[in-house]
Amino acid sequence: MKARKDMVRMGTKVGAAFGAIGFLLVGLIPGFYFGSYGTLVLLNHLFGGPLEATVLVRVAIAVGIILGIACVASVSIVVGAVVGTIAGYASEAVTNAVSAKPSSEEHASAEVK
């Protein structure tokens, strides 16, 4: 039972690491655009039209960019961890299925007794 938990935990950690690496490779730029565009749309709706580039608007966009990057990073890591957990359960099931089959020598000795 301990081996099963260890296999699943390892799968979760490896999956989360792959999710973080995937975020760094392909998720950083979409997170940047997601945050900045979302903030611009939100501010546009709140103020009812186009905005001037004031300090307050720039700070709000910077905070939006940080939030967008954090959201995309967390989704990437969680999805990677879930996929890794599924892979851990699958590899544990395959390992148990392979080790549960008795070898022909054990089967033959069981019939003789």
The pLDDT tens digits of the residues spanning 50-73 come to 888 889 999 999 999 999 999 999
The model carries a pTM of 0.76
Residues 50 and 8: beta-carbon distance below 8 Å? no
pLDDT at 69: 95
Each residue of 64-111: pLDDT tens digit?
A: 999 999 999 999 999 999 999 999 898 888 888 787 766 555 555 555
By C-alpha distance, which of 71, 27, 63 is closest to 43? 63
By C-alpha distance, which of 95, 87, 93, 92 is closest to 11? 87
